[in-house]
A and B are shown apart, each in its own frame.
Chain A
Amino acid sequence: MASPLDPHAAIVTEAGGLDATLTTADGTPLKRALARASRKSRWRAFLLVLPLLAFIVITFVVPIGQMLHRSVYNDGFAANMPQISGWFAETEPGTVPDDAAFAALSADLQAAAEARTIGIVGTRINYEMPGTRSLFTSTGRKVRGGVEPPYREALLEIDGKWGEPELWASMRNSSTAYTGSFYLASLDRTRDTNGDIVQVNENRRVYIMLFMRTLWLSALVTVMTFLLGFPIAHLLATLPLRRSNLLMILVLLPFWTSLLVRTTSWMVLLQQQGVVNDLLIWMGAIDESGRLKMMYNQIGSIIAMTHILLPFMILPLYSVMRTINPSYVRAAKSLGATSWTAFRRIYFPQTLPGLGAGALLVFILAVGYYITPALVGGASGQLISNMIAEHMTGTLNWSMAAALAAILLAGVLILYWIYDRLVGIDNLKLG
């Protein structure tokens, strides 16, 4: 194997002189040879990862980047109404539209109507000010043949709404392709006629409420999984391995069962004519008229999500509890601590790493839950993910969906970063 040219073949120490350097057989300084060799092995390791890295960048990073771009970019108005967009660019927010503005507007409306893009324009303004899409389409039909000056009077005659300052503020907000208005809308804010940021009307404030509900429900589910998961993990960790492995199957089976299957079973169990209600009636806890409504509301979401996410709490807790030395608790008791004190002061603090890992994982997964709330949540159990889906498939306001998704993504990434700092991704275990 070793030829005289192989730099690793032999290391020769030149003993002559004070500034002696270590060299390899072919005379390169050892330092440089080592650097070259380790660079080579770094490249070799990197080349193994490279195909997957490229794959993930294309199928994951680029799509999410595109989504983020979409959240600040919507040229529905700017591209189809160039003249009035130009007027907005030149004037200050709050400027009362003059004759030039109305002339530009009617020219744009006419051009958009002829190019059949007026619907796109109307849809864009509709996002800012609901109920205005029809104003654009109906005006478009009337101006297609041409508008006679004076333009202001002509447009106001078609519909008085064209004089409303709110409409002009909405058009100004939409007049640039790059806009932060979808993020403002995600926080229930908008720009008023003077260009100041204000809260939207009370009946339109939904998003902050939804974000808060998502956080609250996720926190609640995390606490529930902790309360149910802790005793189980403790039992599994203290039983002899043979028996705990058997019981572990009861934890892993739900983990491996399809999410839709588990959600379906909860629907079957919780519905008003379902098994749980029948059981309660049979036991005499409730009567026929008092059947509990446990589905299509928050209770359904909480129960099903707790069940589905419970293994994610049990598994990290279990792996930490397995490593806890039982002699510490025994030592505490021998020093006079009661069982409760020994648990509270000695055992529980040692489980905190597992608890942190489990709680963070459950919370991260709960914040982004979509399927279960959509199926069992009803109106009051909908989370922010369901609103994103609604904007993607229902209202087709894709920029709004992207902005909401971006805020959710930012939150999840912060939690992920904390998880990596506290727990380390390497310690993520499956089963």
Chain B
Amino acid sequence: MALPKYATPLERVWHWTYLVICALIFFFLIAPIVVIIPLSFNADRFFTFTDEMLAFDPAGYSMRWYDSLMTFGMAQPEGPRGASWFADMWANAKWVNAAKNSIIIGVCSTVLATVLGTLAALGLSRPEMPFRRLIMALLISPMIVPLIITATGLFFFYSSACVPQGSWAHTLLSPVLSKSGCLANTYLGVILAHATLGIPFVIITVTATLVGFDQSLNRAAASLGANPRTTFFRVTMPLILPGVISGALFAFVTSFDEVVAVLFIAGPDQMTIPRQMWIGIREQLSPAILAVATLLVVFSIALLVTVELLRRRSERIRGVTPA
């Protein structure tokens, strides 16, 4: 981007203007995410910088909103912080419960999406796969179709596709289904929906990893006497693992951030973090929301760094030098 020595004054002016414009756009991208971090330490119930905060007066800052994440919904938030207080928090605090639900649903749907998606990506990247393009388009479509449409469809499906009561299937499946034998208002329903939404990400990242995959490695393994299973676990898997993990992280984030489907198909028991945020934003916007948002930003920074490191590792072990 350096200017050549022979640049005209006009070119120099334009060059610096251009850099300033770019800086402003980067500011536009990042500022909204950064600004909520100091605001979440606000001592007042405001969403703006108070005079104390601007003067860097410690009295203007507090951890009260982070504290409220633990106490909100507790039976006795005022009591001494002993074992019983923690037990109360673990059982009753709304945000803690939401976090637990989000993690349960996120992990289960990620495992499901990653296993199914990786298998499918392996099949899809074989050149002999029939109807490759069509099937690929279908498997990616949950990412393209507006969430509200998917959620509407799932709402109809989950409330109509029920196991009849008294049948053997009902006895077998009753722990994971609702009382009426349907998928609506159940953990399983949300997990299946989130797995569907996460699958396109797994497929995209794993097929991208497989594009640079050298098939002769598999043949070499076979020629040395490895059976297909050994070949897969000892040769293919270690090489595509970075792509698989990236895909899994994408799937997890998708589930962890998803609110539309949850609003439509989940019951009051499946309160997740985004749903709790949604309620908080719509009803009474308190700085506690900003505290949650800050924690989520820290979480996404950690994920971003992980994915970036994985991508570099994948390039290194596959011998792809950065362009």
Chain A residues proximal to chain B, CB less than 8 Å: 38, 41-42, 44-49, 51-53, 55-56, 59-67, 70, 228, 231-232, 235, 238-239, 241, 247, 249-254, 256-269, 271, 273-275, 278, 307, 310, 322, 339, 364, 367-371, 375, 385, 388-389, 392-393, 398, 401-402, 405, 408-409, 412-413, 416, 420, 425-426, 428-431
Contacts and interface: CB of A to CB of B under 8 A. Distances in A.
Contacts of B155: 392
Interface of B: 1, 11, 14, 18-19, 21-22, 25-26, 28-30, 32-33, 35-36, 39, 46-49, 116-117, 119-120, 122-124, 126, 128-130, 133, 135-142, 144-150, 152-158, 160, 192-193, 195-196, 199, 201, 204-205, 207-208, 250, 253, 256-257, 259-260, 263-264, 274, 277-278, 281-282, 285, 289-290, 293, 296-297, 300-301, 303-304, 307-308, 311, 322-323
A164 B2 CA distance: 79
Residue in B155, B259, B263 with the greatest tally of chain A CB atoms within 10 Å: B155
Contacts of B39: 268, 275
A219 to B, nearest CB: 16
Contacts of B14: 339
A257 B157 contact: no
Nearest to B192: A59
Contacts of A408: 146, 149
Given A261-B36, A375-B281, A430-B204, 20 more contacts: A48-B122, A49-B124, A51-B116, A52-B139, A53-B120, A62-B157, A63-B156, A65-B153, A67-B153, A232-B25, A254-B33, A257-B297, A261-B33, A266-B32, A268-B290, A275-B35, A339-B14, A370-B148, A371-B259, A392-B264
Contacts of B21: 231
A269 to B, nearest CB: 6
B128 A52 contact: no
Contacts of A251: 29
A241 B315 CA distance: 15
B216 to A, nearest CB: 16
Given A264-B36, A273-B46, A274-B47, A258 B281 contact: no
Contact of B144 (A264, A364, A385): A364
Contacts of A48: 119-120, 122-123, 126
Nearest to B144: A416
Contacts of A44: 123, 126
Contacts of A250: 26, 29-30
Contacts of B307: 256, 431
A265 B35 CA distance: 8
A375 B32 contact: no
